[in-house]
Structure 1
């Protein structure tokens, strides 16, 4: 099989591996935003994102809208799109390594990326992170081709850059990473790099800067809107953003400190032998991997320390293919084949529990049980019943799984999404909407915190005052579904 064929076969297997059981966990808050936005048509979505929130995710939402129009807006459909992104990232990582002259090592890097906890997490998350890795890999591969062949490959690189930045703002850090790579790379002999379009790094940075300028100009409307909406990431605090866990463990290991520890040990051990074992054979490999990883980390940490906090580990998913290349280089530096095999197997074994944990029923943040809540409501309600949510997370079940609430009267709703100017609906306390209870015989109240009495929330007291009484109580993993019926 040709080298490119092996790369894409490996990418397909990685996508299947990432997709396996990704549909098991319930949606959580961030994914709920994805589902709500992607359900909108582009004509409905663009006014919302350009005026209020998430302009930087518009491209992803539009792409997912058409994908989910075919495969559905459930967990399997939306996360399947992310699994596809993982597969593309893995295949392109292999192609990058092949372009650098080490085809076997390239496949090694791709396998390491496919099993990396951060990537298996991204493949089971209905957000754009997997595709940021794929688009970043596209940009690096096109850069290598443009350096060799020139011509219209620079235009292709510019298109990839514009799409990448429009999909996720922080991929703009690749501007500095790629420029640094071009300036520091050593020119190779013509025999090493046939058909070279640009043979001097001193000349290559000129078309690269032109390419980036045009690409950023094309993406400038989204960049401007994303900057204007930067308050939406105000939840990233400097105290929670920087600690040993978020900087040293989460970027690659996700929740696995064992995997992150093994990665650091491998890199340190490999660094001792890199100069003689790898750089002589492929001088560009480590430079590319280093620029891909170090520059985005340094810039985001620097911005967070000196300006507004923007660092959070999952935002740097797009740098993980570069880390996989560095890990493969570290393995290559270990000359003993048995040792290489043992270390590789150890990494995969250490990553496996995290992979399984990412696909358990309550694997998402706060042990989200929104699907269980929605199914419980559907099982214990009838068309014409009212639905009411106590303040907090419970209402997200309606956003994520609207099909389970068909026929129910949303008595507290004031302004629905997207007219609410946010990803949530605007509601009012039941005490101000008691007229909505006229003719209602049964009402479902969903409250947070497993174990909370049905009569404790403020809205429950309003129900008691209007002739309702608690009839049934159905606990879920995190919430409680209460059924009230009108007395008499």
Structure 2
């Protein structure tokens, strides 16, 4: 005899009747997101790309997406609108400060919505207590807090996947397909939630039709992004042992929480595949095509939070809560660290400040490698005061993110005409690009210039070179 679908387990769990406790997870997520939102006035390079792309005119943004970053196109369009509304309201928009708030507030809001969605799913499948704890567990998870404060799409994708899960349980198939397709257009790896949902709705014709609609709706983006895959993801290597170890720990925790009678069968059937399948499938695919980054499947943490909520909601005795209290200590330290510039790979605003302090009128600038031009593109006043020796066509003119550079002989000739050069380099010990343009930059600086100073900045070095005898 066919069992009843999970959607009918708790018919009283209707979000139209919002009990006071249901405000706690989104409020906690919002409070944590707003805490230290500016991260000491820092911004890392991925956020800088968002800022640059979203500030292009719509025509220029469309041209850019035809060449690169189509996978983030809908998010850039959304952020274009956010910045336009922010500026129209007369709010401070320059970076740092007001611009950082505009850049990151959508992710804060999305994380609060995701926490509310996790609580709603937990309530529907395991009751109010489990739903409350699951929503709070999602809100306090350090990776969730990290991307709640980042000007990228991952928090928005997680919110879409979580609410699509809830709509699946309610058997609202048109809405389910629309919300999940929205998540996929914000980042196409949200489609990995489909096989996870398939475990919970495997007998449903409505889900199969919705899954087909999502796949069909995602196809145009998939075709465009496939052409851009090498340029978009070519920097990635195969998953490291740390990636596999992190997945193994998360999988072990999920399986442990799913064991026993305290975890409702219906919740396990929804939460366990959501926690395991998206990252597991992406890791497996990345053995052939290196595409794995943990933030691409951030939404998998919702499955782990649901399992934790169900287990703690049914817990009796002090031991489980003593374990939670013990985890709050490292979580608290981790959370505080996430609000510092050191929590990201680099700080483009610190790089720009270092350049501003060291550059003189008439100085040239050189980026090693060329993709590090992004460090100054979000500080146009600093960048505009320098001569970019290697640049052939600007990012806007070349319909690219960092612009295109001159051939190697032209770069060398331009360098030999300069008296002082501010060079922006990766940290010491990083691999160097071997293409002719990058090689001639390094060779000419070493052979024809004196190194005047090197300043270490978070994730970067700012070096000043001068012709022999020109250093102060």
Shorter-chain TM band: 0.7 to 0.9
Partner of 1:246: 243
Q: CA deviation at 1:17?
A: 0.6
Q: 2:77 aligns with which of 56, 62, 67?
A: 62
Q: CA deviation at 1:461?
A: 5.7
Q: 2:54 aligns with which of 16, 38, 44?
A: 38
Kept in 2: contact 1:57–1:167 (CA 8 A):
yes
Give the alignment of 1:73-472 within 5 angstroms.
74-145=99-170, 147=171, 153-183=172-202, 202=203, 205-231=204-230, 232-238=232-238, 241=239, 243=241, 245-249=242-246, 264=252, 268=256, 270-272=257-259, 274-275=260-261, 277-279=262-264, 283-305=265-287, 307-336=288-317, 338-365=318-345, 368-381=346-359, 384-391=362-369, 394-428=372-406, 432=410, 444-449=422-427, 457-460=442-445, 464=449
Q: CA deviation at 1:417?
A: 0.9
Kept in 2: contact 1:377–1:444 (CA 8 A):
yes
Q: 1:14 aligns with which of 16, 21, 29?
A: 29
Q: CA deviation at 1:116?
A: 0.9
Alpha-carbon separation, structure 2, partners of 1:388 and 1:321 = 44
**Number of matched pairs:** 432
Q: CA deviation at 1:329?
A: 2.0
* TM-superposition CA deviations, 1:36-72 (whole Å, max 9, x none): 22222332222221x3222111111111222233174
Alpha-carbon separation, structure 2, partners of 1:5 and 1:135 = 23
Q: CA deviation at 1:87?
A: 1.4
Kept in 1: contact 2:188–2:218 (CA 8 A):
no
Kept in 1: contact 2:28–2:136 (CA 8 A):
no
TM-score, scaled to structure 2: 0.80
Q: Tell me, which stretches of 5 or more residues in structure 2 are unaligned?
A: 1-15, 430-440
**Distance change (3 Å), C-alpha of 1:438 and 1:90:** same
Q: CA deviation at 1:22?
A: 3.7
Alpha-carbon separation, structure 2, partners of 1:345 and 1:393 = 44
Q: Tell me, which stretches of 5 or more residues in structure 1 are unaligned?
A: 148-152, 184-201, 252-259
Q: CA deviation at 1:385?
A: 4.2
Q: CA deviation at 1:109?
A: 0.7
Kept in 1: contact 2:130–2:314 (CA 8 A):
no
Partner of 2:7: none
**Distance change (3 Å), C-alpha of 1:220 and 1:389:** closer
Alpha-carbon separation, structure 2, partners of 1:242 and 1:406 = 39
Alpha-carbon separation, structure 2, partners of 1:237 and 1:345 = 37
Kept in 1: contact 2:24–2:132 (CA 8 A):
no
**Distance change (3 Å), C-alpha of 1:341 and 1:372:** same
TM-score, scaled to structure 1: 0.77
Q: CA deviation at 1:317?
A: 0.4
SS at match of 1:322: helix
**Distance change (3 Å), C-alpha of 1:395 and 1:303:** closer
Kept in 1: contact 2:424–2:461 (CA 8 A):
yes
**Distance change (3 Å), C-alpha of 1:142 and 1:342:** same
Q: CA deviation at 1:171?
A: 1.4
Alpha-carbon separation, structure 2, partners of 1:405 and 1:304 = 37
Kept in 2: contact 1:450–1:480 (CA 8 A):
no
**Distance change (3 Å), C-alpha of 1:443 and 1:227:** closer
Q: CA deviation at 1:221?
A: 1.2
Kept in 2: contact 1:473–1:483 (CA 8 A):
no
Larger deviation, residues 60-69 vs 470-479: 470-479
**Distance change (3 Å), C-alpha of 1:59 and 1:29:** same
Kept in 1: contact 2:148–2:155 (CA 8 A):
yes
SS at match of 1:419: helix
Query: What value does the CA root-mean-square deviation take over the aligned residues?
Result: 3.4
Q: CA deviation at 1:364?
A: 1.2
Alpha-carbon separation, structure 2, partners of 1:81 and 1:459 = 45
